[in-house]
Amino acid sequence: MIDIASTPVSCEVFGLAEGPYWDAARQRVLWVDINAGTVHIGRFDRGVLTEEHRIAVDETVGAVVSAADGRLLVAGHRRLHTISTDGAVTASTEIIPMGKQSRLNDGGCDPTGRFLVGTVGTVGTVGTVGTVGSDDRPRDESLVVVEADGTLTHLDDDLALANGLAFTPDDGWLYSADSLTGVVWKRGFDAATGEFGPRAPFLQFDDGLPDGLCLDTEGNLWIAIWGAGEVRGFTAAGDHIATIAVDAPNTSSVAFVGAELDTLLITTASDQLSEDKLNRHPDSGRIFSARPGVTGLPVHEWSGQ
C-alpha cells in the first residue's frame, strides 16, 4: 500500500462541499455546497481551483451533473432542478414525497444518461461522526433511477444514508455507498437493457463512513472516508492499495479532473466540527487535490431528458 499527500487548492472554505464533477466538454469543475444551497462552477489550472460562477438554488443541493448541451441537473431538497446555460433554475421531477423527512443526497448518471440519486434522512442523529452504526435513523432511505420519461425506479429502499456511486470501466457494475452502515455495495448493470442486477456487499468499513467515490481506468475504486480525513484506493478485488491523507477530518467526495484526468479533487466539510477540531484542521471545508499516479475514468453525462 502507498501513502499519498494532498494539498488544499480552493481559497474558499465551504460548509459542506460535495459532489465534484468534471465536465470534460467544457473543461470545468462542478460542485455543490449542500447546506448553503449553492452550485459552483470553476476552473482547475496549475494546481489552483478558481470559482467562476455560483448559482443559488435556495434549498439543499446534493449533487450536480452536466448535459451535452451545457445544462445542469441538480438534486435539490426533494426534487430535481435544471439550470440553463444562462443560470436560470427550473424545478423538475419530484423524487421525495411531501411529508417524508428526507432530502436528496449524492447522485450521478448511468451509461444510458439516466440520473441516479440517493436520499438521506433529515431527522435523528448521525451519532459519533465517523463511527458506523452510532445513529438512530431508520433504514428506509432510497437509491432511485430517474427514467427518461420522469418515472422513478427504486433500486433500494432499505438504506441508512445513500451516498456515492460510480460505474466500472466496462459499464458492467455499479458501486454505491450506504454511509451509516459502512457498506459499499456492488451490483451488475446491463447497458443494452438498462437493467440492474441484485446487490452484494463489496467493502465494509468500521473506522469511518464511506462517502463519495469514483473509479480510475484500471478499475480501482477511490472512496472519501468521512470522519477519517482520508481517501482510500481499492482494487476491483477489494485490496487496499493506497491512502490519501487529507488535513480535514470530514472528507466528503472525490473526482478525477483535468484534461488528462490525472488529478483527484477531494471535497471536505467544516460543518459539524467542534471549535477544537477546526483549530487543529483550519483547512476543513476547502477542496484538496492529490496525484495518485493513475488516470481517472470519465463520468457519464445526463441525457437531458
Q: What is the sign of the dihedral through the CA atoms of 126, 132, 137 and 143?
A: positive
Q: How far apart are CA 133 and CA 37, in angstroms?
A: 28
Q: How far apart are CA 160 and CA 137, in angstroms?
A: 7
**Cell 435513523 sits on residue:** 137
Q: pLDDT exceeding 90 applies to what percent of the chain?
A: 91
Alpha helices in the chain (DSSP H): 275-280
Q: How far apart are CA 75 and CA 111, in angstroms?
A: 19
Burial 56-82 (b: 16+ CB within 10 A, else e): ebeebbbbbbbbeeebbbbbbbbebbb
| Structure confidence at residue 129 (pLDDT) | 43
pTM: 0.96
From the list 162, 193, 197, 184, the residue with the least C-alpha distance to 236 is: 184
92 — pLDDT class (breaks 50, 70, 90): very high
| Structure confidence at residue 124 (pLDDT) | 62
| Structure confidence at residue 290 (pLDDT) | 99
From the list 35, 161, 145, the residue with the least C-alpha distance to 80 is: 145
> What is the per-residue pLDDT across 161-220, written as a single tens digit (0 to 9) for each?
999 999 999 999 999 999 999 999 999 999 999 999 999 999 999 999 999 999 999 999
Cβ atoms 126, 180 nearer than 8 A: yes
39 strand-pairing partners: 32, 55
> What is the per-residue pLDDT across 254-305, written as a single tens digit (0 to 9) for each?
999 999 999 999 999 999 899 999 999 999 999 999 999 999 999 999 998 7
| Structure confidence at residue 123 (pLDDT) | 78
Conformational region of residue 208, where left means phi above 0, alpha means psi within -120 to 50, and beta covers everything else: left
> What is the per-residue pLDDT across 144-161, written as a single tens digit (0 to 9) for each?
999 989 999 999 999 999
User: What are the structural domains of the chain?
Assistant: 2-290 (2.120.10.30)
Least reliable range by pLDDT among 21-35, 127-141, 173-187, 243-257: 127-141
Q: CB burial class (10 A; 0-12, 13-18, 19+) of residue 195?
A: exposed
Q: How far apart are CA 264 and CA 293, in angstroms?
A: 10
| Structure confidence at residue 128 (pLDDT) | 43
